[in-house]
Chains A and B, each alone.
Chain A
Amino acid sequence: MRILGISAHYHDSAAALVVDGIPVCAVQEERLSRRKNDAAFPIGAIDFCLEEAKLEPEDLDAVVFYEKPMLKLERVLTLALRGFPRTARSFPKAMRNLLGEKLWIKGIIASHLGIPARKILFTEHHQAHAATAFFTAPTRRAAILTADGVGEWATFSLGTGEIRDDGSADLRLLREVRFPHSLGMLYSTFTAFLGFPVNEGEYKVMGLAAYGEPRYLDEVRRILRRTPDGAFALDLDYFEYHLSAARSFSRKFVDVFGPPRDAWDPIDLSSDDGRRFADVACSVQRVLEETLVDLARRLHQETGLDDLCLGGGVALNGCANARILRESGFSRVFVPSAPGDAGCALGAALCVDRLHFHRPHCEMPDHPFWGPEPGDVSRIAGEDGLPVDRLRDDAEVVRRVADELCRGRIVGWVEGRGEFGPRALGHRSILAAPSDASMRDKLNRSIKFREEFRPFAPAVPIEAAARFFELSPAAERLGRFMSGVFPVRPDFRARLAAVTHLDGTARVQTVEREMAPRFHALLEEVGRRTGIPVLLNTSFNLAGEPIVSRAVEAYSTFRRSGIDLLVCGRDLVAKRREEAVAPEEAVA
């Protein structure tokens, strides 16, 4: 059975193909269209999936969209009515947005793919999140917690999943919190207040939090109240996102937290305003963590299950994930490589396969590499007169690259299929030595151009992880897709300065040989030379661009940035000292 899952039209659209219960490919549209957070109908991603599997659209048994458009319309209309007449400005915008494309998704899919409408199915948004989290995790029974901005109505849901002995699957969402009460929207509102782009800058809030004091804890707790049944509710007097398309926080919010940051203005942590922003970030991060921990703890007590699967965009918050693992009572916590909306493409397909067609569950390959192969870099590099070294085997690649890294070079590392999800996990990564804080500054200055308060992540072989980081075996699992933030052991903080955040933590990636053998070998080789098998691993992209997908994009990024060496498969490309085009040649 061939099932195509699609998520689209909000942010980060994607497609995923499941054949006989197993994912064959999954990719975000942005990786192909090269437009960051591309929300357009993912026709490029769909084409890629079908080509990869050598299928025609008519070969598909079902195409699944990741949410129910009519429920969404109901929510928009209901909120317009409840907020009347304050929703007068946002109503036309919201309706045009919905009526433009979102509402006709069935027709759009049918016309793009040329398939009959009866093959087009729909899951609920949080059901798709839950399916991504549960069906891709190596567990048979687990509690499920999903949290994001909003789907149709639900913004948060709790449930359970089970794979029975006969392979049949069950996924049950028990209860939910509905819009406008939303942990995701709470965090996004603070993201907007702090001058970062919503749906993109949430990482920055988490990074900034380490620089602050929780001075506004009481205020944030007042805004996010707990309800008697253990859920939560927002004091809507502080928000406007449910009434306005232009602004997410109200005047009352500004009265409490002060004037918002101008997006153009860099954060100066030595100024009063800079410290205030850091304190606000710290406070909301702390309240989010304690709320999630409490919700997870209650879920654990209720279900008595050992495993928890987390889904939704909020599950990208590594600090919260680590606290949930530590404090909620669950023995293991699983977060998929793409817990956000893009991952719903895969979740929707798996959900329909298991629950609608009642096909037995299959063991899932436990890796995130479902994207395109990179292709060849030697032709373009050769055309530009750059020397290309094609090495004999992987062992030689690993030795050469380890040499370069130990010399302080920055390496663009491309191998195999690209990652599905927002994190570079060793197939589309920029790598560097983690020991020196100046490396972090160099990366920020010449490649990533990002704020100084944002940390870089370390990658470490799973066998060695506990030596350098305070990780339990369960936490090692959370580090598989870089889903948790854990303390760096004090003895190693100075020697891992480029990847240790101000608060002594790091968003560790624990690398298993089976998942990424060559990357694992590289880490071990670096360890043999330096005594510390750790590398700084950041995504292979420049500011404002999506992670590279193919060799040609890796090459262009390499040429435009301070990366010293590009490794693509077994090809190594180094920069010449002077390679700019002479102006005379261009205008001759």
Chain B
Amino acid sequence: MAEPLRSLRATALDRALLPLHRWVWQDPGRRALKLLRFAETEADGGRDLSRAAEVTRDPLLRRLYLRHAQDEERHAHLFRARGRELLHSLPRGGSVSFEANFFAPGERGLDDLHVESEGDESLLAFLHLSEEAAAQRFVIYQKSLAHDPETRDLFRRILHDEAFHMSYTHAQLTRIAGPRTRRRIWQARLGRLWKAYLRVAAALAGVIGSLILRVQYFVLLPPFVFLARRAARREPEGFAPSRALPDARSQY
């Protein structure tokens, strides 16, 4: 287990962006909220893994997924406790306007997992990549937290588990997929890319949709506002009669 932990390095991009990471983690309020957000992500991950344990027919995988789920639950607890601690140390009413969630996501913060639709091989490949990405990320977070030894130590402890998760998912994938292992990992990599594209596309579509609806709101609605308000003023306060027996074929 020590071997993968030693060989873990942040990605080149993350290393280049270290000053930015330091800035993200500098503010104690933001740090607290990020840890609390991580706690939620870990708890969600734990639920996904327990579902994976329920779905798989491989007894060894079931045991490993259950242990992994318990690890995630423990991480959630640790993140939550530290986040609350930090929050309590802050002056009351302090707020953070920018949490930088996209820039510094939690473990599977940007990865959607649909356990039921995955086979054991693809799930293991996904988990392996996801744990690897999280571990690399946690390495850079550790480096960004020189000013907060307690939080840095928390990441160090969790990183130890992440290294185990990375190793076991790879070992089990090799056991199950044999010569298909590399292909599975590449498929998972492409799947992550595709999902990332979909997320970006959906977010963009959402922004455009909101913009169009906002324009409609200000252009189309105003003429009817007066009528609606007048009707509201005429509505009696209290009870209104119910409709006798609405027609079941109608959507109105």
Contact = CB atoms under 8 A, between A and B. Distances in A.
Same assembly: yes
Given A88-B214, A384-B59, A177 B238 contact: yes
A92 interface: yes
Contacts of B106: none
Interface in A535-587: 544-545, 552-553, 555-557, 559-560, 579-581, 583, 585-587
Nearest to A175: B239
Contacts of A70: 251-252
Contacts of A585: 60
Nearest to B39: A264
Nearest to A78: B228
Chain A CB count within 10 A is highest, among B36, B70, B221, for B221
A176 B242 contact: yes
Nearest to B251: A70
Contacts of B11: none
A262 interface: yes
A121 B246 CA distance: 11
Contact of B54 (A93, A227, A553, A586): A553
Interface stretch (B14-22, B132-140, B163-171): B163-171
Contact of A80 (B53, B217, B243): B217
Interface stretch (A122-130, A277-285, A428-436, A515-523): A122-130
Interface stretch (A52-60, A229-237, A328-336): A229-237
Nearest to A559: B66
B68 to A, nearest CB: 9
A298 to B, nearest CB: 11
B122 interface: no
Given A68-B252, A383-B62, A588-B171, A91 B54 contact: no
B164 A231 contact: no
Interface string A120-151: 01111011000000000000000000000000
A246 interface: no
Nearest to A121: B248
Where chain A touches its partner, the secondary structure class is: mixed
A95 interface: yes
A159 interface: yes
B248 A175 contact: no
Chain B CB count within 10 A is highest, among A34, A69, A71, for A34
B221 A352 contact: no
A85 to B, nearest CB: 8
A450 interface: no
Interface string B201-222: 0000010011001100110011
A227 B84 contact: no
A82 interface: yes
B240 A178 contact: yes
A95 B210 CA distance: 9
Contacts of B224: 81
B66 A82 contact: no
A461 B140 CA distance: 59
B220 to A, nearest CB: 10
A495 B246 CA distance: 53
Interface string A134-176: 0000000000000000000010010100000000000011111
A173 B242 contact: yes
Nearest to A84: B225
Nearest to A159: B242
B252 A84 contact: no
Contacts of B209: 92, 96
A545 B69 CA distance: 13
B242 A154 contact: yes
Nearest to B80: A264
A93 B62 CA distance: 41
Contacts of B243: 124, 173
Contacts of B53: 556, 559
Interface residues of A, number: 73
A490 interface: no
A82 B232 contact: yes
Contacts of B66: 556, 559-560
B222 A84 contact: yes
A492 to B, nearest CB: 36
Given A175-B240, A233-B237, A262-B87, A81 B221 contact: yes
Interface in A351-371: 352, 355-356
B242 A175 contact: yes
B241 interface: yes
B1 interface: yes
B78 interface: no
Nearest to A551: B54
B248 A587 contact: no
Interface string B52-65: 01100001101110
Contacts of B54: 34, 552-553, 555-556
B43 interface: yes
Contacts of B244: 172
B218 A88 contact: yes
A228 interface: yes
Contacts of B1: 583, 587
Interface in A289-310: none
A164 to B, nearest CB: 16
A71 B242 CA distance: 13
A33 to B, nearest CB: 8
B239 A92 contact: no
A106 interface: yes
B213 A68 contact: no
A194 interface: no
Given A264-B36, A384-B62, A68 B47 contact: no
A81 B238 contact: no
Interface string B98-138: 00000000000000000000000000000000000000000
Contact of A560 (B70, B167, B237, B240): B70
Given A70-B251, A96-B213, A581-B67, A127 B43 contact: no
B238 to A, nearest CB: 4
A368 to B, nearest CB: 24
Nearest to A171: B245
B213 A92 contact: yes
B228 A581 contact: no
Interface in A35-49: none
Given A176-B240, A587-B164, A581 B64 contact: yes
Contacts of A556: 50, 53-54, 66
B87 A265 contact: yes
A229 B238 contact: yes
Contact of B241 (A85, A93, A127, A175): A175
12 contacts: A64-B248, A69-B251, A84-B217, A91-B213, A91-B217, A121-B249, A127-B246, A178-B235, A384-B63, A545-B50, A560-B66, A587-B167
Given A230-B238, A265-B88, A555-B54, 10 more contacts: A70-B251, A78-B228, A81-B228, A96-B206, A122-B250, A123-B248, A126-B242, A552-B54, A579-B63, A586-B168
Interface of A: 34, 64, 68-71, 74, 78, 80-82, 84-85, 87-88, 91-93, 95-96, 106, 118, 121-124, 126-127, 154, 157, 159, 172-178, 227-233, 259, 262, 264-266, 352, 355-356, 380, 383-384, 544-545, 552-553, 555-557, 559-560, 579-581, 583, 585-588
Instruction: List 4 A-B pairs, minimum CB-CB distance, nearest first.
Output: A227-B238, A81-B228, A231-B238, A383-B59
